[in-house]
Each structure stands twice: as C-alpha cells, then as structure tokens.
Amino acid sequence: MKPTNYHLFDFMDFDPELSKNESLWKAYKPTNVREENGDIYITVPFQKQVLSNDMAADLTTPREEHTLVIRQYSNKTIRLFCGFGVWEMTDNTEMLQFSERVQKLPLHVKAGEGEWNIYTADGTLRARVNVKEPVLDHWSDLLPAPQETLDIVLYPDGKREIHLAAYDHFSPPRYDALPLGYCVKDGKKERATLSFECKADECFAGTGERFTKMDLSGHTFFLKNQDGQGVNNRRTYKNIPFYLSSRMYGTFYHTCAHCKLSLADVSTRSVEFMSDQAMIDAFVIAGDSVEAALKKNPSVKVVIDLHRDSVESSIHLRTKINGKSTAQIMFFNGVSRLAKKGDIGYLYNPNKEGNLAFSLQMQLLCGKYYPDLTRKIYIKGYRYNLHLVKRAMLVEVGAQNNTVKEAENAMKPLAEMLYRLLSGEKSYKK
C-alpha cells in the first residue's frame, strides 16, 4: 500500500480508488444516557460519510443509532463496549479470566448543563459525556464547520483523564482519527475503530514480544499472529492487543480478530485502534507507577517483577511438586554493569548488593525445600526495576510452552519460601 496521507485510506483501509461498495459511519453527539443494572448505556447516532479525501456527512442517508456501554471494574478499570448490533458484551470468553479481586462497581449518571457525568457510589467521577458546542479555532469561513462528534472523557481511577479523540483534524473535513466509527462493506458491518487523544511527549510500550525499541510511539502495528521470521523485523507471533502509556494507563482490546494499532503514527495526536470485527471492547486501566505506589506505602519492603521466560521449544521448564505439574522459576539480577564497558552510569542501582543477597537467600531456601523448583540465578547488565528497594527481585516463571496452571502452581511454593525468609528463617548455616 502506498501512503496517501489521508486517514481514510492509510488507516481505515478504504480502497484509494473508492471502487468498492463500502461506507464509513462516524459517531455523532449522544442523544441519551441511562443507567441499567449498574452499567451506563449511551445512545450514539452514526452518520454515513461521503467518501473522498475530505470527509463530509452523507445527508441523503438516515442516521443509525447504536449503544455504547460503559462499565466500571474495581477502582481502576473502565470498559467501553459497542457491538454495532452484531455483537453482545460478555464476560465469559477464553481471553477474560477475572480475579476475585476484580468486582463490578455500579455506575450512576447525573445530567448537567451540556453534559452527563458518570459516578461510582463513592462519588468518584468516572466519565463525562460532553454535548456542548465545541470551542474551536475555526480559522476560515471558507471551510465547513466541524461535524458533530462523540466527546467523552474517561477517569478510570478517578484521576487520569483519558479523552476520546473527538476533534483530531487539521481542518474540519480532514480527519486524522475518529473517536468511534465502523464500516459497511457489501451491506455487512465490518471494521470498527476507537481512538484516544495522546500528548506530544507520550511514549508507549506493549503489544506483545516484539523485536524493536521499547518505546513504540510513532509506529503502526498489525496485531496478527504469524511467524516473526527472525529478530530483524517488527513482525511477531506473540501479539497481545494491549499497550501501556507513559501517562500511566493501559488499554486492553478484547478481541481475537486481526487488528491495527497506531501509536501516534498515522496521527501524532491520537492512539488509533481498528479491528476487522464490527465490535469495540476496550478495557482502560489506570494506575500509579511503582515509585508512586512505594511512596504512598512506605511499609512495602519487597518488590517482585514477575515474568515469563522464552526458550527453545524442545526445552520444558517444569517439575512435580506435591504431585502437581509446576513451572520452574529463575531469579534474575541486573547489576548495572557490562563486562567490557564497566558500570552503566544512567542505570545506577544503589540496591545491587541487597538484590543479589535477596535472590541468593531465596535460591538457597528453595533448594532446601523444593530443590527442583528453581533454575540458576541469571546475571545481566541491565537493572530493570531492581533498583527500587533492597529486596527487589525479578522472577521468570516457566516459559512460553508452560501452561497457565503450571505457572499458578509455582506461586504457592514461591510464596512459602518468601514467607519463610521474611519470617527470619536462615537459608544457610554459619
């Protein structure tokens, strides 16, 4: 595909010749917001667009209405769902496994002047649906006024503002992102899109294991599981439809369909997601950084960074503990030092000795009670998050060919050893 510099073609995958029987439907201003069983149902009209380089409303076609559902889980996760009359929201899928700690929180709506505000029972604002006229710099009367749009602000943890990309356009008809929309091809709904605003200095990570720089901003990814064919390209066979923002929120897209994710790339002002399905199901999760959490909770003395290793398919990192197949674990240490170049100054770790002692004590205790549970202690130059406290450890639990159950079975003996160590049990004899 040759880039056209138009959102319609470069991101939404419309034929640049506009020769196919397909159309784009853009979300307009909500007409109603109501509560039902603790969820919020938003009636959103969609208007068909005239397909051209500059988008415009096709006023010969009546609007269609669809329902956008907002649901709150626990204190930091908000869910957006719109099935466009094709799909229904469910919690029962192979991709969703809710912990007992994740509980649905009922939402309530209060109408204000030009807006609907959505709260949890404790009075925390979780979302704002704005229907006011926008205050925009309409710099030329020769251009048409902006179309109506879906303007919603999310507050998943009650603090961070996550805006839908309501007004991402260079000029009113020249859209670079749509807050919510879908496509119709040959009379069938397909391809749905959801976009959030991003900041100029915002960075992104995630999308699964990928052989590229950690900061993914300025790139578009095709979330399609296929053979990565080595480490010299951005293709991967371990796609996860999730990204993490430097603004301390992440978004998980609940779908197995082929997807496209633009992280401030097609538009430098937006994060854009498009699915091959006519469905949007997004979990927006906010939280503090580890540093902020430790500052709020100074009594925390142990920080565990839990990972999964990657090994050759012929290697199986499993053992038997109490008759249960259990993933083997490995303690990892980053010493902020390279063999040839010496200390890595910008990755200073004031707790290096404490980290090393902690992992050694854990290794010795595991060897005493569960000798086959652990692998070797792995030493590497880069510190990751091990500098935060003296008793910080990075634990690799099994690998890509271990089952979830095997990983879970490893947690009980690991927790037991941690309890023994923190209770004062010696892992060695003087």
270-306, pLDDT tens digit by residue?
999 999 999 999 999 998 888 888 998 999 989 999 9
CA distance 120 to 105: 7
Residue-range domains of the chain with CATH: 7-286 (2.60.40.1760), 290-422 (no CATH)
The pLDDT confidence band at residue 429, using thresholds 50, 70 and 90, is: low
Helix extents (H) in 244-381: 290-296, 352-369
| Separation of CA 333 from chain center | 27
DSSP E strands in 323-425: the ranges are: 324-327, 329-334, 337-338, 342-343, 378-380, 391-399
332-389 pLDDT, tens per residue?
998 888 888 888 888 888 999 999 999 999 999 999 999 999 999 999 888 888 999 9
Within 10 angstroms of residue 285's Cβ, the number of other Cβ atoms is: 20
In three-state secondary structure terms, 95 is coil
Q: What's the DSSP call for residue 175?
A: B
Q: What digits encode the pLDDT tens for the residues 73-111?
A: 999 999 999 999 889 999 888 888 888 888 999 999 999
